[in-house]
Amino acid sequence: MLELIFSALITIVPDYLYRHYKQGKRWGHEITLFNVWYELRWGLTACAILAVTLLTIIFYFHPSTRNVSAAFRTVTVLSDRAGRVAEVYVQNNDRLKAGDPIFRLDTTRQEAAVETASRRIAEVDAALGVITTDIAAAEARLEAAIADLNQARDDLNRRQSLADRNNATVSEQELERLETALARAESQQTAAIAALDGAKLRQSTLLPAQRETARALLQEAQAEIAKSTVFAEVDGTVKQFLLKPGDIVNPILRPAGVLVPDVTGQGRFVAAFGQISASVVKPGMLVEITCASKPLAIIPMVVDDVQNAIAAGQFRPGDALLDQQDRRRPGTVTVFLAPIFPKHLEAIPPGSACVGVAYTSRDKEIEAGEITGFSAFIARIVDGMGIANAIVLRGQAILLPVKALVFS
């Protein structure tokens, strides 16, 4: 409307004044409702062209959006494993500090595993005490086997010497018996050595390994017990938390609730501008917004960052080829806004819906000499046209309560 009034003032009004004062035509006589197009055709045509041109320039260089929101993230309250709730320490809408317990799962099975692992460690420690006695017994058996071997070797050597001097004194059968006794003594010595080595190996390797395994099982069970209690990782408020003792919690199918961190969003707003504004919206650009949760207030913001990808173009590989015509919405340019005065956002809760207008300013380029002459003059005019959108935004801020409360 403002653009149309401005266009009419410099097109239709001069045309009418020329025809009235120069040609002597009067409204209601020579100029009537039926011949107004013919009489004012030059002014009407110029007004239409100028209005369309002004609207195009203003909406291109000073884009507006109705999709501005105070985005925030949440932390899902989940446990590391599925289980039945044993205790609940908080209620819905309670404020929590980092490290505060939220709820605890039943740990009967894990406590039994701790007891089993503890007893296994005690059993291995007892075995390590007994193995010393086994080693001493194996050493004694080895000494006895060595003594038997020496005795058998001496008997065989003695009988062999007698047999060499007088064959009739020692029979062949006795020599075979002594050789068999010597072989048996050597086997017993070998078995005693193997038994001693086995006992020492159990003492130095097997039993310590079994003890370390039992300790690992104990630590695993204790870790499961520790993880059974869910703690708040950040300061915040717990929402949608209706958990009761006896409920089943599953980290995949059934979360316990939602934790809204106190620092969520960090005062940044997310705005969606049309794709045609992608070449205009730049970091550092001034933006004004007004929100339904804080009516009659204009909040100055600045473009903090511009997402370099349009979300509507993303795809996930599947078993079917993607047809581009299936994408109905063209998508928007995602812009992140930061407040110039953070105190202005104190009364705006996260998730509020707002509208905003961005203003193009090439003042720095003009001062730096990058834009000069007639181009600088045109740039000044285009930048000044943003006042039209500023007036519209303030009108929306005034009419927003009326629309929401009366005409909704």
Cα 33 from Cα 287, distance rounded (Å): 44
CA angle 162, 165, 167 (to 5 degrees): 80
- The confidence score (pLDDT) of residue 225 equals 84
Q: What is the pLDDT of residues 25-62, one digit of tens each?
A: 888 787 887 887 888 888 889 989 988 988 888 889 99
As a whole-number percent, the residues of the chain with pLDDT over 70 amount to 93
Q: What is the pLDDT of residues 337-349, one digit of tens each?
A: 999 988 888 888 8
- The confidence score (pLDDT) of residue 302 equals 93
Question: DSSP string covering 254-267, please?
Answer: B--EEEEETTTTTT
The superfamily (CATH) of domain 62-72+265-313+330-408 is Efflux pump adaptor protein, beta barrel domain (2.40.30.170)
Domain 108-227 belongs to what architecture? Answer: Orthogonal Bundle (1.10)
pLDDT at position 264 over 60: no
Band of pLDDT at residue 301, cut at 50, 70 and 90? very high
Give mean pLDDT, residues 237-259.
85
- The confidence score (pLDDT) of residue 358 equals 94
- The confidence score (pLDDT) of residue 286 equals 93
The residue count of the chain comes to 408
- The confidence score (pLDDT) of residue 157 equals 72
pLDDT at position 76 over 90: no
Question: Radius of gyration (Cα) for the chain, nearest Å?
Answer: 47
Give mean pLDDT, residues 238-247.
88
CB atoms within 10 A of CB 59: 17
pLDDT at position 378 over 80: yes
Per-residue tokens: 293? 């949760």
Nearest Cα to Cα of residue 353 among 68, 40, 39, 163: 68
Band of pLDDT at residue 121, cut at 50, 70 and 90? confident
129 and 123 Cβ atoms separated by less than 8 Å: no
Task: Compute CA distances 100 → 223, 235, 236, 325, whole Å.
Answer: 18, 9, 11, 51
Question: Which CATH number describes the domain made up of 75-105+230-261?
Answer: 2.40.50.100
Cα 217 from Cα 120, distance rounded (Å): 10
Nearest Cα to Cα of residue 229 among 330, 37, 114, 88: 88
Band of pLDDT at residue 224, cut at 50, 70 and 90? confident
Give mean pLDDT, residues 71-87.
86
93 and 313 Cβ atoms separated by less than 8 Å: no
Tokens 């120069």 belong to residue: 22
Cα 271 from Cα 70, distance rounded (Å): 9
- The confidence score (pLDDT) of residue 78 equals 85
- The confidence score (pLDDT) of residue 164 equals 63
Lowest mean pLDDT segment, chosen from 31-45, 145-159, 203-217: 145-159
Per-residue tokens: 102? 């939220």
Domain segments of the chain as ranges: 1-57, 62-72+265-313+330-408, 75-105+230-261, 108-227
Give mean pLDDT, residues 268-292.
90
Band of pLDDT at residue 147, cut at 50, 70 and 90? confident
